[in-house]
Amino acid sequence: MCGLLAFFSTNHDAADRQEAIAGALESLHHRGPDETGVELVDSDAVFAHKRLSIIDVEHSHEPLSYADGRYLLTFNGEIYNYLELREEMAREFGAEFATQGDGEVIVAGYHHWGERVLPKLRGMFAFVIWDRQERRAFGARDYFGIKPLHYVVTGDGLYVGSEKKALLPFAAGAGIDTGSLSHYLTLQYVPEPGTLHEGIRRVGSGELFTWTAAGGLDLRRWYRPTFRPTPVTEPERVYERIRETLRESVRLHMRADVPVGAFLSSGIDSTAVVALAREFNPNILTFTVGYDVDGYSEIEVAQDSARHLGVTTIPTRIGPQEMMDALPKIVWHLDDPVADPSLVPLYFVAKKAAEHVTVVLSGEGADEFFGGYTIYREPLSLNAVRSLPDPMQRGLRAVSKVIPEGVKGKSFLERGTTRIEERYYGNARMFNEQEKRGLLRRNDQGVRYTDVTAPIYAECVDLDDVTKMQYVDLFTWLRGDILVKADRISMAHSLEVRVPYLDREVFDVAATLPVDLKLPPRSDATKYAMRQALRGVVPPAIVDRRKLGFPTPTRVWLRGEMYEWARHILATSAAGDLLDLGYAARLLDEHRRGEADHSRKVWTVLVFCVWHSIFVTGALDPGIQRNQSALLTKPVVGSMVA
Is the same domain home to 460 and 424? Answer: yes
Per-residue pLDDT at 479: 95
The dihedral formed by the CA atoms of 490, 493, 494 and 498, expressed in degrees to the nearest 10: -20
Q: Where are the beta strands (DSSP E) in 64-135?
A: 64-66, 71-79, 123-131
SS3 (DSSP) at 477: helix
Is the same domain home to 399 and 309? Answer: no
Is the same domain home to 302 and 365? Answer: yes
* 50 domain-assigned: yes
Amino acid at 489: I
Contact 158, 137 (CB under 8 A): yes
Evaluated on CA atoms 556, 558, 560, 561, the torsion sign reads positive
pLDDT higher than 50, residue 130: yes
Where residue 312 falls (left for φ over 0; alpha for ψ -120 to 50; beta otherwise) is beta
Q: What φ, ψ does residue 626 adopt, rounded to 5°? A: -145, 160
Task: For residues 383 and 195, give the distance between their C-alpha atoms in angstroms, rounded to a whole number.
Answer: 37
Is the same domain home to 74 and 201? Answer: yes
* 254 domain-assigned: yes
Is the same domain home to 304 and 452? Answer: no
What residues have CB less than 8 Å from 593, skipping those under 6 apart?
none
* 401 domain-assigned: yes
pLDDT category of residue 294 using cuts at 50, 70 and 90: confident
Amino acid at 84: E
Is the same domain home to 403 and 340? Answer: no
Q: What is the 3-state secondary structure (H, E, C) of 488-502?
A: HHHHCCCCEEECCCC
Is the same domain home to 177 and 68? Answer: yes
Segment 520-526 mean pLDDT: 86
Please report, for residues 4, 163, 204, 616, the alpha-carbon distance to residue 148 in angstroms, rounded to integers and kept in the order given: 10, 7, 9, 22
State the greatest distance between any 2 C-alpha atoms of the chain, in Å, as a whole number.
Answer: 75
Task: For residues 389 and 344, give the distance between their C-alpha atoms in angstroms, rounded to a whole number.
Answer: 47
Amino acid at 418: T
Catalytic entry in 2, 343, 491, 562: 2
Contact 554, 562 (CB under 8 A): yes
Per-residue pLDDT at 637: 30
* 350 domain-assigned: yes
Is the same domain home to 346 and 488? Answer: yes
Number of folded domains in the chain? 4
pLDDT higher than 70, residue 563: yes
Segment 276-298 mean pLDDT: 91
Per-residue pLDDT at 56: 55
pLDDT category of residue 20 using cuts at 50, 70 and 90: very high
Task: For residues 339 and 190, give the distance between their C-alpha atoms in angstroms, rounded to a whole number.
Answer: 10
pLDDT category of residue 97 using cuts at 50, 70 and 90: very high
Residue 453: CB atoms within 10 A of its CB come to 22
Percent helix / strand / coil, the chain, rounded to 5: 45, 15, 40
* 307 domain-assigned: yes
pLDDT higher than 60, residue 592: yes
Contact 485, 190 (CB under 8 A): no
Query: pLDDT (tens digit, 9 = 90+) per residue, 61-72?
Result: 778 899 999 999
Is the same domain home to 94 and 210? Answer: yes
pLDDT category of residue 639 using cuts at 50, 70 and 90: very low
**127: Cα separation from own chain's centroid:** 17
Segment 101-113 mean pLDDT: 95
Is the same domain home to 610 and 480? Answer: no
Q: Which domain holds residue 46?
A: 2-221
Is 2 assigned a catalytic role? yes
Task: For residues 159 and 151, give the distance between their C-alpha atoms in angstroms, rounded to a whole number.
Answer: 5
Q: Which is nearest to 326 in space by CA: 314, 318, 317?
A: 318
pLDDT higher than 60, residue 631: no
* 622 domain-assigned: no
Task: For residues 413 and 152, give the distance between their C-alpha atoms in angstroms, rounded to a whole number.
Answer: 46
Residue 411: CB atoms within 10 A of its CB come to 13
pLDDT higher than 90, residue 524: no
* 144 domain-assigned: yes
Segment 498-506 mean pLDDT: 97
Do β-strands 285-290 and 496-498 pair in parallel, antiparallel, or remain unpaired? Answer: unpaired
pLDDT category of residue 626 using cuts at 50, 70 and 90: low
Is the same domain home to 519 and 537? Answer: yes
Q: Buried b vs exposed e over 571-587: b needs ≥16 C-beta within 10 Å?
A: eebebbebbebeebbeb
What's the CATH code of the domain at 262?
3.40.50.620
Segment 450-474 mean pLDDT: 96
Task: For residues 57 and 78, give the distance between their C-alpha atoms in angstroms, rounded to a whole number.
Answer: 13
First to last CA, the chain: 20
Please report, for residues 266, 500, 503, the alpha-carbon distance to residue 535 in angstroms, rounded to integers and kept in the order given: 16, 18, 21
Kind and range of the H or E run holding 590: helix 581-592
Residue spans of alpha helices (H) in 355-464: 366-370, 378-381, 383-386, 390-402, 410-416, 420-423, 433-439, 450-457
pLDDT higher than 90, residue 398: no
pLDDT higher than 90, residue 427: no
Is the same domain home to 360 and 406? Answer: no
* 130 domain-assigned: yes
